[in-house]
């Protein structure tokens, strides 16, 4: 398949990109790596009339400001592996990065692109929800800061308004040392996840002080495990406790049933992967 | 139509290109370079991998107009029609191909990978090699021959350095 006709515009500055996107509204889309948008266009699932190429904009910085790590929308996935601030503070993010697409895709795909595309099985939207990230969006009307929990509305649907574009993702740097992990099951390494689970733990020895768990691929947006997170607080983390947390998480979600997997198998995976991810996060302590 | 200057395997041409045209199609139809194979045309199979300014990229997920002024290399630039490149030779001896449709994509994905490993003096594990080729699909070989070819291409060059 080949894409429908569109007009191509190369933006030289953020201001120019935003003014073009404002002019085109619903009919315009920014393009960076194109690793999600172009497949959608080739399959004619997306038919933007105007593409605004933002590859030459300076939106690829990774910087720390106070207790916030800000990642520009044009940071390419392969850079996460070489970023000491991610390795130190967001180990679950780093672990998740290995599961994003394939090496060629990770070299070109961008953070802003993946977030805006909002595939329900994608790693980065899940990681944003896991880490309580803030999505920074900009339009000619100014900047909006949207909590990740409110950004992902449904499959491929976000809180972005026509004419608005993601410019950065902000991650709150935790006060205390955190341990994290991310595991997923896909048909083939790098394929879309059937289920992916991310976990972040704050530990005192084996005792959980705080826990966060999120799942990709179960529902139409990433989901957090409120009941399992609550259950883990104050408990000693053992295989049994981790299994129980997985059961609680699986009971609290309503998994989709599709060609990739039945809802029942997804529920089974949530139990097992939650348990494995928690244990992997704890073992990463050593 | 957008005026676009592309250099494919050293041949530079300026064309009037419809924005919706994929780089893979332009290379095949306008430059008559048929080593770029199109399998899935939506970024899943890796057959259309080319180098843009030396970096592997899927030419089915790239619009030709985005490549204005860029240097593009296809499998033809590796070892020519005699396939003399060390990786091509290893694919031949280790049965890294059967029908050959996916081979240009594998070679273009792997050539910089092999080069980097050799430069670092590293021999990757089979698992690492499999991750490196995870974006390329081969329906014939079952991948064993391809993994063996990568190992051979790297080990031959590492031994050559020691000698």
- Predicted confidence at residue A18, as pLDDT, reads 98
Tell me which CATH code domain A7-53 carries.
3.30.43.10
- Predicted confidence at residue A119, as pLDDT, reads 97
Q: Do A42 and B130 touch (CB under 8 A)?
A: no
Residue of A nearest to B109 (CA): A104
For A117, the token pair is 């595309």
Domain ranges of chain B: 2-74, 80-162
Residue of A nearest to B24 (CA): A2
Fold of B80-162: DNA polymerase; domain 1 (1.10.150)
Q: Do A34 and B130 touch (CB under 8 A)?
A: no
- Predicted confidence at residue A286, as pLDDT, reads 59
DSSP state of A259: T
pLDDT (tens place) for every residue of chain A, 286 residues total: 899 999 999 999 999 999 999 999 999 999 999 999 999 999 999 999 999 999 999 999 999 999 999 999 999 999 999 999 999 999 999 999 999 999 999 999 999 999 999 999 999 999 999 999 999 999 999 999 999 999 999 999 999 999 999 999 999 999 999 999 999 999 887 889 999 999 999 999 999 999 999 999 999 999 999 999 999 999 999 999 999 999 999 999 999 999 889 999 999 999 999 999 999 999 987 5
For A5, the token pair is 């006709």
Q: Do B109 and A7 touch (CB under 8 A)?
A: no
Tell me which CATH code domain A179-283 carries.
3.30.390.50
Q: Model confidence over B112-162: pLDDT tens digits?
A: 999 999 999 999 999 999 999 999 999 999 999 999 999 999 999 999 877
CA–CA dist A99, A115 (Å, integer): 15
Pairing of strands A165-172, A134-139: antiparallel
Q: How far is B77 from chain A (nearest CA, A)?
A: 19
Pairing of strands A193-204, A179-186: antiparallel
A181-195, B18-32, B53-67: least confident range = A181-195
Residue of B nearest to A4 (CA): B20
SS3 A184: strand
CA–CA dist A53, A33 (Å, integer): 9
Quote the ipTM score.
Answer: 0.94
> Among A52, A106, A65, A101, which residue's Cα sits nearest to residue A82?
A106
Fold of B2-74: Ubiquitin-like (UB roll) (3.10.20)
Torsions phi, psi for A268 (to 5 deg) = -60, -45
Mean pLDDT across chain B: 96
Contact A227, A252 (CB under 8 A): yes
Torsions phi, psi for B45 (to 5 deg) = -100, -20
CB-based contacts of B160: which residues, under 8 Å, 6+ apart? none
């Amino acid at each position: 398949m080949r894409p429908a006709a569109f007009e191509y515009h190369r933006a030289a500055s953020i201001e120019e990109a935003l003014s073009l996107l404002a002019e085109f509204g619903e009919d315009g889309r920014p393009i960076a790596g194109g690793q999600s948008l172009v497949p959608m266009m080739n399959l004619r699932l997306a038919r933007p009339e105007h593409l605004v190429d933002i590859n030459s904009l300076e939106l690829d910085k990774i910087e720390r400001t106070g207790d916030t790590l800000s990642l520009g929308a044009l940071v390419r996935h392969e850079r996460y592996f070489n970023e000491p601030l991610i390795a130190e503070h967001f180990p679950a993010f780093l672990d998740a990065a290995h599961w994003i697409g394939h090496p060629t895709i990770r070299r070109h795909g961008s953070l802003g692109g993946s977030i805006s595309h909002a595939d329900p099985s994608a790693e980065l939207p899940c990681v944003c929800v896991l880490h309580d990230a803030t999505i920074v969006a900009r339009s000619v009307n100014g900047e909006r800061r949207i909590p990740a929990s409110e950004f992902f509305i449904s499959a491929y649907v976000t809180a972005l308004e026509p004419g608005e574009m993601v410019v950065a993702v902000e991650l709150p740097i935790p006060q205390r040392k955190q341990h994290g992990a991310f595991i997923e099951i896909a048909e083939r390494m790098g394929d879309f996840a059937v289920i992916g689970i991310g976990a972040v733990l704050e530990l005192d020895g084996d005792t959980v002080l705080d826990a966060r768990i999120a799942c990709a691929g179960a529902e139409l947006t990433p989901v957090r495990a409120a009941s399992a997170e609550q259950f883990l607080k104050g408990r000693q983390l053992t295989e049994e406790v981790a299994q129980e947390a997985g059961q609680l998480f699986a009971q609290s979600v309503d998994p989709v049933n599709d060609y990739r997997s039945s809802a029942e198998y997804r529920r089974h995976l949530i139990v097992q992967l939650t348990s494995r991810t928690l244990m992997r996060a704890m073992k990463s302590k050593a | 139509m957008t005026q676009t200057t592309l250099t494919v395997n050293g041949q530079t041409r300026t064309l009037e290109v419809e924005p919706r045209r994929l780089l893979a199609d332009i290379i095949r139809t306008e430059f008559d370079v048929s080593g770029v194979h199109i399998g899935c045309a939506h970024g899943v199979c890796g057959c259309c991998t080319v180098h843009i300014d030396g970096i592997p990229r899927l030419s089915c997920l790239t619009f030709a107009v985005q490549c204005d002024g860029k240097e593009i290399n296809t499998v033809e630039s590796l070892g020519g029609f005699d396939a003399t490149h060390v990786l091509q030779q290893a694919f031949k001896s280790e049965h890294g191909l059967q029908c050959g449709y996916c081979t240009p994509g594998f070679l273009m994905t792997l050539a910089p990978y092999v080069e980097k490993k050799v430069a670092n003096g590293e021999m990757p594990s089979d698992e690492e090699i499999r991750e490196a080729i995870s974006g390329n699909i081969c329906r014939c070989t079952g991948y064993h021959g391809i993994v063996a070819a990568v190992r051979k291409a790297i080990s031959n060059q590492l031994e050559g350095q020691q000698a």
